[in-house]
Amino acid sequence: MIFRQLFDRESCTYTYLLGDAATGQAALVDTVREHVGRDLELLAELGLTLTAVVETHVHADHVTGAGELRRRTGAICSVPRLGGAPCADVPLGDGDVVRVGAIALRVLVTPGHTGGCVSYLVSLGEAAADRVLTGDALLIRGCGRTDFQEGDAGRLWDSVHTRLFALPDVTLVYPAHDYRGVTVSTIGEEKRHNPRLGGTRTRPEFIQLMAALDLPPPAKIAEALPANRACGDAGAKP
Ligand code: FE
Q: What is the pLDDT of residue 214?
A: 92
| Confidence tier at 219 by pLDDT (50, 70, 90) | confident
Q: At residue 129, does pLDDT exceed 60?
A: yes
What's the gap in Å between 47 CA and the centre of ligand 1? 31
Q: At residue 236, does pLDDT exceed 70?
A: no
pLDDT in tens, 6-65: 999 999 999 999 999 999 999 999 999 999 999 999 999 999 999 999 999 999 999 999
Mean local confidence (pLDDT), 136-161: 97
What's the gap in Å between 221 CA and the centre of ligand 1? 10
In the chain, the amino acid numbered 121 is L
Q: By percentage, how much of the chain surpasses pLDDT 90?
A: 94
Nearest CA to 100 among 171, 36, 174, 24?
24
| Confidence tier at 74 by pLDDT (50, 70, 90) | very high
Instruction: Give the separation between CA 105 and CA 192, rounded to whole angstroms.
Output: 26
What's the gap in Å between 26 CA and the centre of ligand 1? 23
What's the gap in Å between 23 CA and the centre of ligand 1? 32
Residues 6+ apart with CB under 8 A from 233: 67, 68, 87, 227
With vertex at residue 30, the alpha carbon angle to CA 29 and CA 32, rounded to the nearest 5 degrees, is 125
What's the gap in Å between 136 CA and the centre of ligand 1? 5
Q: At residue 238, does pLDDT exceed 60?
A: no
Least confident range from 102-116, 159-173, 222-236: namely 222-236
Instruction: Give the separation between CA 139 and CA 49, rounded to whole angstroms.
Output: 29
Nearest CA to 61 among 172, 153, 179?
179
What's the gap in Å between 107 CA and the centre of ligand 1? 17
What's the gap in Å between 113 CA and the centre of ligand 1? 7
What's the gap in Å between 179 CA and the centre of ligand 1? 13
What's the gap in Å between 144 CA and the centre of ligand 1? 6
Could you give phi then psi for residue 182, rounded to 5 degrees? -90, 140
Instruction: Give the separation between CA 208 and CA 205, rounded to whole angstroms.
Output: 5
In the chain, the amino acid numbered 98 is V
What's the gap in Å between 60 CA and the centre of ligand 1? 6
Residues 6+ apart with CB under 8 A from 186: 169, 170, 171, 172, 173
What's the gap in Å between 147 CA and the centre of ligand 1? 11
Mean local confidence (pLDDT), 161-171: 98
| Confidence tier at 228 by pLDDT (50, 70, 90) | very high
| Confidence tier at 109 by pLDDT (50, 70, 90) | very high
What's the gap in Å between 7 CA and the centre of ligand 1? 15
What's the gap in Å between 210 CA and the centre of ligand 1? 15
| Confidence tier at 234 by pLDDT (50, 70, 90) | low
Burial of residue 82 (CB within 10 Å: 0-12, 13-18, 19+) is buried
Nearest CA to 176 among 51, 1, 2, 11?
11
What's the gap in Å between 22 CA and the centre of ligand 1? 33
What's the gap in Å between 149 CA and the centre of ligand 1? 9
Q: At residue 189, does pLDDT exceed 50?
A: yes
